[in-house]
Amino acid sequence: MAPMTREVGVNRSSGGNDIGGGEKATRVRIGRIDGDGIGHEVVPAAVAVVESAAAAIGGVEIDWVPLVIGHDAIERFDTPLPDATLDALTELDAWILGPHDNVSYPERFRDTPAPGGAIRKRFGLYANVRPARAFEHVRATVPGMDLVIVRENSEGLYADRNMARGSGEFMPTADVALAVGVVTRAATERIARVAFALARKRRRRVTIVHKANVLAMTTGLFLHVCREVAADYPDVQVDDEHVDAMAALLVRRGGDFDVVVTENLFGDILSDLAGELSGSLGTAPSINASGTQVMAQAAHGAAPDIAGHNRANPTAIMLSAAMMLDHLALARGDRRLAEVAARVERAVRETISSGVATADLGGGASTGEFTETVCARARRW
């Protein structure tokens, strides 16, 4: 999984114990938040695969810190996002966040931000990196797709992230609703640098997605600043597309794109589209990162209709965990974490390529059977 740039790397000390020859063991504390619905099945599956890969590498000690959001948190703390969870995350470099099902929360919580969005805002996780890569032997609309959408995650038209206090949506009358969209030079420049640095590790091409022909001041500023940043990366080819045209191009020739950088709402929509075009949203991973922390979070939802039936596909959260570890490895210069990440990703891909897959990918494996096979492959090499 392609790592993020050092410019958003985690800078905390990894600690460690001497494991012989003067080399210290890699030690890391990672939050584990199962969330709602199928999160209780897929997050433990991701933890199991990471543990299998770490054991095979040796010299990697992971302290998993269990935390709660959603229905579990409502039952224990009478809130879907308790202060105890937020306080614990403050002390962690990384965590895995399972899906939330906020539409099913009690009525009194309907107007509160969803836990995932609230966590992203609280910790300034401004870079949302979402790969979309086709799998061998998985039917895909665009079989050759292998791109990464880099989404600015802190502003745009999202009502919970565009005001210092309160919501960015408001109704002056019962029949009129308004929304505020925010694009700033600072946020655009930092996300553009993430995209261009990532492109240097891939095929050296960045596509800027905007709607400057209509939203001339907001997405026009986004386009202009991204073009300015491009001048610092002369070895990277750059072009741009209107968001509506980009949606059509992803369907028509999605395999031609490398790194796509765009604002918040456009990135949310296009990354879901790309995930489906590459095979399934159930295989679409992502991380959300700041300069100090990183969160693994699959692109899919809580799927309450299949929760508890051992049918959920844990691929996306497994690959998200691999991205998270790769991000930590790059920030710390830690080869072992990079090896664990590579081993997890390879085990997932080779398992699916071998024909072992869950029902949504056309296979017959249960969540448990798929996880056991991936774990065995992660230990094997």
Which pLDDT tens digit goes with each residue over 357-373?
Answer: 999 999 999 999 999 99
Q: What is the CATH number of the domain that holds 24?
A: 3.40.718.10
Half-sphere exposure of 163 (CA within 13 A, CB side): 10
- Going by their DSSP bridges, the two strands 169-173 and 176-179 should be labelled as antiparallel
Shared domain for 108 and 17, answered yes or no, is yes
Point out the residues that are catalytic: 158, 211, 244, 268, 272
Shared domain for 151 and 274, answered yes or no, is yes
Which pLDDT tens digit goes with each residue over 7-47?
Answer: 454 444 444 544 445 568 899 999 999 999 999 999 999 99
Q: Average of pLDDT values for 195-207? A: 98
User: What's this model's pTM, rounded to 2 decimal places?
Assistant: 0.91
Structural domain tally of the chain?
2
Shared domain for 269 and 305, answered yes or no, is no
Shared domain for 344 and 255, answered yes or no, is no
Shared domain for 342 and 273, answered yes or no, is no
Which pLDDT tens digit goes with each residue over 102-121?
Answer: 999 999 998 888 999 999 99
Shared domain for 311 and 246, answered yes or no, is no
Shared domain for 26 and 116, answered yes or no, is yes
Dmax over CA atoms of the chain, in Å, equals 71
The DSSP 8-state label assigned to residue 32 in this structure reads E
Shared domain for 153 and 102, answered yes or no, is no
Give the per-residue pLDDT at 113.
86
- Concatenated DSSP letters of 147-164: EEEEEE-SSBT-TTTS-S
Listed residues 250, 278, 306: the one ending a domain:
278
Listed residues 258, 278, 298: the one ending a domain:
278
Q: Average of pLDDT values for 228-244? A: 98
Which residues have a Cβ under 8 Å from the Cβ of 203 and sit 6 or more positions away?
A: 258
Shared domain for 239 and 152, answered yes or no, is yes
Shared domain for 257 and 288, answered yes or no, is no
CA proximity to 124, closest of 12, 257, 290: 290
Shared domain for 123 and 215, answered yes or no, is no
Which pLDDT tens digit goes with each residue over 314-353?
Answer: 999 999 999 999 999 999 999 999 999 999 999 999 999 9
Which pLDDT tens digit goes with each residue over 259-277?
Answer: 999 999 999 999 999 999 9
Give the per-residue pLDDT at 22.
53
Instruction: Please name the helix (run of DSSP H) or strand (run of DSSP E) that holds residue 209, with its range, or none.
Output: strand 205-210
Q: Which amino acid is at 356?
A: V
Shared domain for 29 and 80, answered yes or no, is yes
Q: What is the residue range of 155's domain?
A: 140-278
Listed residues 246, 278, 310: the one ending a domain:
278
Give the Cα separation of 225 and 183 in Å (integer).
10
